[in-house]
Structure 1
């Protein structure tokens, strides 16, 4: 049986996604201007990176996880024990879950900030990021093979991260001014 997982797969996937996003930014740059092109590409990259970090098994040796042994419900123990048992670079799981969604919220605002429709699209996008987090937790609950756990704390932390990124995007919007790159028809 072929097993795939671990941080190496996550990092490699994120690097491949970064190359694809950079190519997308180059293609969009002429049409939308550099700030919007980079923001759209950054949003795409961050959504893919989130999927990699949350849906790829944490270890390549996970092997077969029988469906009968998977959890049948999400943990509703808010702030439960898993938040303190997992660390990367000295950061606990809760902090990492928040940080994971910050770029998506930030790039979302900058990606739609050049258009007046962004006044509707940005809040709608924030709701979609919350739904994305919910969807990830649902997949973690349903797919035993990835050996992940559904946890309401993760959803709250993810939405908090997206919200922080959203606010940062609003703060950066007047500095980045994505509307500058707008081309007018002659």
Structure 2
């Protein structure tokens, strides 16, 4: 049986990770400055939040998933059988999958923008790593049937779209906040 799950466990994990990463920020801000340190730490936290909400069973520990109920491959039905909604947003599962990656994309740019020359390479590589993270989540959902989650290529498309929108938002924020001047 998968030992943990449910919204309470997700929220507890999210809160504990925030506390740990706050301590990391306090240590890094002297070296990186407040904006860059906060951007980096909140980027890590956003990835942790994504992990908690996608890799823990939403309705508690589901127990055993029968072999005949387990998916053999990811669903390739683009725009396919996503549920109508999720308990956080009423806009639907696809909207949530997009929105959850927007902060990560924006924070990636803000964390890298302190070093503009390096950011030209760091941001595209970081965007590719966010896409790989999404693929990894979906493959984990496929491999671990006890998570009671489904592997769906549409989720990857939505996640990467959100990350790319976040990168665009991050570029605008970087132009406003100018983290390279805070070095």
TM-score, length-scaled by structure 1:
0.92
8 Å contact from structure 2 (residues 76, 152) kept in 1: yes
Residue 130 (structure 1) aligns with: 131
User: Aligned equivalents of 2:177 and 2:76: distance in 1?
Assistant: 40
Residue 69 (structure 2) aligns with: 69
User: Closer, same or farther in 2 for the Cα pair 1:65/1:2, shift >3 Å?
Assistant: closer
Instruction: After TM superposition, give the deviation of residue 55 of structure 1 in Å.
Output: 0.4
Which region of structure 1 is more displaced relative to structure 2, 61-70 or 163-172? 61-70
User: Aligned equivalents of 1:19 and 1:85: distance in 2?
Assistant: 30
Paired residues for 1:10-159 under 5 Å:
10-84=10-84, 86-115=86-115, 116-159=117-160
SS at match of 1:84: coil
SS at match of 2:60: coil
Q: How many matched pairs?
A: 182
Which region of structure 1 is more displaced relative to structure 2, 4-13 or 158-167? 4-13
8 Å contact from structure 1 (residues 66, 145) kept in 2: no
Which region of structure 1 is more displaced relative to structure 2, 25-34 or 173-182? 173-182
Give ranges in structure 1 of 5+ residues lacking alignment.
none
User: Aligned equivalents of 2:144 and 2:5: distance in 1?
Assistant: 14
Deviations 1:115-148 (A, max 9, x none): 1211100110000000110111011111111111
SS at match of 1:160: helix
8 Å contact from structure 1 (residues 100, 158) kept in 2: yes
Pairwise CA RMSD of aligned residues?
A: 1.5
User: Aligned equivalents of 1:33 and 1:122: distance in 2?
Assistant: 19
8 Å contact from structure 2 (residues 36, 111) kept in 1: yes
Residue 179 (structure 2) aligns with: 178
8 Å contact from structure 2 (residues 85, 91) kept in 1: no
SS at match of 2:5: coil
Instruction: After TM superposition, give the deviation of residue 86 of structure 1 in Å.
Output: 3.9
Deviations 1:45-84 (A, max 9, x none): 0111111111001111411224453100111111112242
Instruction: After TM superposition, give the deviation of residue 88 of structure 1 in Å.
Output: 2.8
Which region of structure 1 is more displaced relative to structure 2, 132-141 or 60-69? 60-69
Instruction: After TM superposition, give the deviation of residue 24 of structure 1 in Å.
Output: 1.3
Instruction: After TM superposition, give the deviation of residue 91 of structure 1 in Å.
Output: 2.7
User: Aligned equivalents of 2:2 and 2:45: distance in 1?
Assistant: 26
TM-score, length-scaled by structure 2:
0.93
